[in-house]
Structure 1
Amino acid sequence: MWILDHADTLIALLAALISIVFSILSHLDSKKANNLASKALEQSGEARDIALAANNIAQEANQISQEANELNATALTASLDNTRYSWTFHRQANHAGFGIINSNNLTAFNVSITIFNKSELMSETTRDRLEAFDEVTLDTRLILSKLANKELNRVTINKPTLMCEIHIKWDTQTGKHMSLIANHGFSTLESEERRILKLRI
């Protein structure tokens, strides 16, 4: 019979076919293994990214916490600051000008001096810092202009006076915000004057 005559060939073909099938299955298993390995690497990378992000968030949280603690410490120090400052109005002799003196042995920071005649702004001066017993010379051109008009229109022998509100704001060395509002009269007298500014009541 033909089958018997070609049995060896058929067996060889069958063996080859089986070998091909196993080769295909082996290739599929290898591909599947590679895919699984690739997914594992991707998941590992994602896990690493998540861990890095979590670490960054933790570092930012620590930084925020540290800054909050520093702010709380500064606020506490400022709240316990009972330092008293004194300010002196200075009319310089011979119409040399007007100034405000920091009459303390402490530095004042972020100093702002504004002067009003009623509701009209007459002068504004600022300094980042004013050392102990240093003086700020005021810009009093508007004040002197008003005094000159009063001088022209005066009907008495007395020198005219322009009553003003002096607003002083500053920070202490601990960062505490402080302020003073005082009433004071500007005049064209030639004599020197130094007067401690009293808090307006």
Structure 2
Amino acid sequence: MKKQKEKNKNSTRELMGITEITDYSLVTPYGELVYFIIHPTNISVLSESSVSSRIYALMTVLKGIAEIEMLCLNSKENFDDNKEYLKKRMEEEENPIIRKLLMQDSTNLDRMQVQMATAREFLIIIRLKNEKESDVFPYLSRIEKSLKDQGFTARRADNSDIKRILGVYFEQNVTTDRYENFDGERWVVLGDR
């Protein structure tokens, strides 16, 4: 019973295995994770030789970094439950005007989903282990420069990017503009007694 009470007191970060979110990384018991966000290229419009050169460029980057991990996230919303609900409502609805409005809503959701279908985020993750603090930033800068030299639009994720990535990964939440450090943080007024 005591163990259960202690377990209920764990923070969300502890449950996810996160020690800290810094200005540039996610600290876990298994190392410090630094994320580089790579903006995707629409390869469907490239020639075969251009696609091959993009693959070779990525291979060149990957060969130069030993501690690399990759992650691809859908940074789009899924409207399947909403569309299923609208479909069910259309079948039940007797009023033709309401049925037409429901059909328009469904069509609008389809249109939104098609527009966001290519909303992907590609992340290169560097797991830092026991690196000296003085060596970390030059190392990360070399990685970022290597990505850019190979023609990738990339940048190192900051604190707000990391929170958004966690929100998308764990909750599929792509609509929140700003993530709080603590639940209800936006309602706290400092200096007001």
TM-score (normalised: structure 2): 0.22
TM-score (normalised: structure 1): 0.22
Higher strand share goes to which structure?
A: 1
Bigger RCO of structures 1 and 2 (CA < 8 A, at least 6 apart): 2
